[in-house]
Amino acid sequence: MSSTPKRVLVVEDETEIRELIALHLRREGYLVDDLGTGDLARTQLSKQPYDMVIVDWMLPGLSGLELTRWIRTELKQLQLPILFVTAKTDPEHVAAGLDAGADDYLAKPFDTLVLMARVNALMRRKSWMDSFNVESEQSPHAHILIGELKLDRDAYEVYLRDEKLDLTKSEFKLLEALMMSQGKVLTRKTLIELIQGDGVNVVGRTVDTHVFGLRKKLKDHSELIETIRGVGYRVKLLNG
C-alpha cells in the first residue's frame, strides 16, 4: 500500500460481519468507516470522499443495489471501486449488481483472505487508473478520441463515428486502458488486474478473448489494437 492510507466505507447491517470486515481492513492499514444502513451511507458519501465502498445488497431502507446506482448516477463517482459482499449469489442477482455499477461480487459466507485479496486487487486497479489521470493531459472525465473512435469515460460509452458500440464492462475497461496509454504496451498481467474484479476469474487467455471480441466490434478500426507477441497489447499511435 502507499504511504497515504486509503479510506474504505463498509455498509453492512449485520454487526458481526461489519465488524469482521472492518477489523481485517484496519489490519491491512486501511482507514475504515462502517455503517449499518444504506441511507446513512448515502449521507456519509455526500460529505466524505472514499477510495472504496464495500456494501451488502440487503440493507434496511435503501438497498445496496440502490446505493450503488446512486453512487454512479447521482454522486457521479464512476471510478470509485464498489465491492458487493452478499448472500444474493444467483446469476440474476450477480448480473444486476454488476450492471448497477459494482466492480466485484463476493458471496457470503466468505474467507477473509479472499476478501482482502479482492479489496487489494481493486485498490491496485484504482491506483493504476489514477496514475493515468495525473499523467495524462486528459482530465479524469474527458472524452478520449483516437481516429473516429471516441470513448466517454463519464458515461461509460464508446462511439465509432456516430454508432454507439455495445461493449461489455470488461471490454470497456480494456479499451479505456489501452486508449489512455496509446502507444504503450500493456502486459496481460496489467490487463488482468484491470478486469479481475468483474465477477470472473481472469487468466491470460481470457484477456485474449476480450480483445478478440473488441476487435470484432471495432470493425474497420480493429487494427488499432496491436498484439505484441508474448507480452500483451497496445493501441497504436496515429499520425496527425
- Report d(CA 130, CA 127) in Å as an integer: 5
What's the mean pLDDT when you consider all of the chain? 85
Nearest to 9 by CA among 33, 25, 26, 29: 33
Contact call for residues 114 and 41 (beta carbons, < 8 A): no
Within 8 A by CB and 6+ apart from 53, the residues are 8, 9, 11, 41, 45, 67, 71, 80, 81, 82, 83
Mean pLDDT of 136-163: 77
223 in Cβ contact with 235 (< 8 Å) = no
Mean pLDDT: which of 46-60, 168-182, 216-230 is highest?
46-60
**Given pLDDT bands bounded at 50, 70 and 90, which one contains residue 2?**
low
Cell 507477441, residue located: 229
Q: Dig out the grid coordinates for 56 from the structure.
A: 451488502
**Separation of alpha carbons 89 and 107, rounded Å:** 6
Q: What is the 3-state secondary structure (H, E, C) of the chain?
A: CCCCCCEEEEECCCHHHHHHHHHHHHHCCCEEEEECCHHHHHHHHHHCCCCEEEECCCCCCCCHHHHHHHHHHCCCCCCCCEEEEECCCCHHHHHHHHHHCCCEEEECCCCHHHHHHHHHHHHHHHHHHHHHHHHCCCCCCCEEEECCEEEECCCCEEEECCEECCCCHHHHHHHHHHHHCCCCCEEHHHHHHHHCCCCCCCCHHHHHHHHHHHHHHHHHHHHHEEEECCCEEEECCCCC
Give the pLDDT of residue 131: 63
- Residues 52 and 45: their CA atoms lie apart, in Å, by 11
**pLDDT band per the 50, 70, 90 thresholds, residue 200:** very low
Average pLDDT over residues 114-119: 93
| Spacing of C-alpha 57 from chain mean position | 18
**Full set of structural domains in the chain with CATH:** 7-133 (3.40.50.2300), 137-235 (1.10.10.10)
- What's the rounded mean pLDDT across residues 155-163? 88
pTM value is 0.65
